Structure 1
Amino acid sequence: MQDSLKSLTIGSSKPDACIIWLHGLGAGADDFIPAVPYLRLAETLNIKFLFPQAPTIPVTINGGWEMPAWYDILKMLPEREIVPAHLQYSAQELHRLTHEQITLGIPADKIIWIGFSQGGAVVLEAALNSQRYSNCSLPSAVMALSTYQALPSDAVNKLSVDFWHGHGLYDDVVPFAMGKKAYEKSADQGRKSTWNSYPMGHEVCVKQLEEMGGYIANCLAR
């Protein structure tokens, strides 16, 4: 995990806002591009979407097969045993990408992070443990989908970040209780945190995407 992450970019060519969306284990940067229309976001918001691609690495719980992964998972437990250095590299890269957008002229309060499953663990790590990272550039909001907090956080100061959590009631990959535990931590540490559950498994659904779109539009209207 040495090279900088590459990203797919869609949306406005003259953006006023940016959404950085991280995929899950084994997926690709294009995984959530088909979900964007379901957000029903107005073109007048001038949003650029960045979809970073995770490095391809061996994943221990999948027999050591190489696949796109933000970090190696050693055991399921159900609390994950992971390689912290991998997760911290991915979180640092997320801060780098965010800092790049700010340098390009997009204000931090018009940037939102979204992460699904493993990608969600990255956005939570980058936010809840932001004090660990250089060139720390926090967004206005973090949206954590079907995910968990992979490493404990030890920050004592409140973050000027809102959190939005979405989780499936029947998720058999990331147990519901793990998602709720991450929400409780973000509610304690963040400016505001919202919990949302849906009658689904380890996935996203149309209703969830529509509600995410409403949340994003409200964030960007502040």
Structure 2
Amino acid sequence: MHFLLLGATGRTGKCVVADLLSQGHTAVALIRDSSRLPTDPNLTIVTGSPLSKDDIRKALTATPGVSPDAAIMTLNTVRESDSPFAAQLSPPRFLADSCANVCEVLEQVGISRVVVMSTAGAGSSWAKLPWISKAFMGWTNIKYALEDHNLVDAEIRKTTMDWTLVRAVRLEFNDLKSLNDKAKDVELLGSAGDGMTISDSVHITSVSRFLVQVAVEGLFVKEAIVVRD
């Protein structure tokens, strides 16, 4: 299969790229800085922004003789640092507007499948989020990312796309030199995240493997699903 990738230079996005290529798929990645991904004969890199519909259209036709079967979006908001108190750098509605643009352009050309990485706490999963996590999100600048993910949740349901929202609990990034050892099957907690606890986490390699599986196999169409290790 051939995929359009948004957010391919992020930590989870890079894992998605590696997973797709290792399985023999091809991809086109729309990114701002072409130097942030290694070259590969099965990966086409297009410089641009998901906030530009023209850039998205350019990416769809960038690989000669093939158009994407689906899109995988692993975009996230950006802060000055990984500190939860760091200032937000992404513009308001960055995720929501990017998602709306991608879905609009894909719908126009007859591509119906999109898989979006979201976060536990978005949409219907807020009610089941542990109260400590709710307090932490409300107290720190992580709240801005959550607000944007909630907007994505609303935007995508307005479309005719065959969408899936993968709501990941707290992400783990450690031991990235041992990707194959860290990745494992995720535990599915439904759209509401039944059974979530304060200690939950999921490694980005596990999430990326699941995102690729969902996209390739057409799983959880028009559903949101909370995942943890």
TM-score, reference length from structure 2: 0.46
TM-score, reference length from structure 1: 0.47
Task: Indicate the structure with greater strand content.
Answer: 1
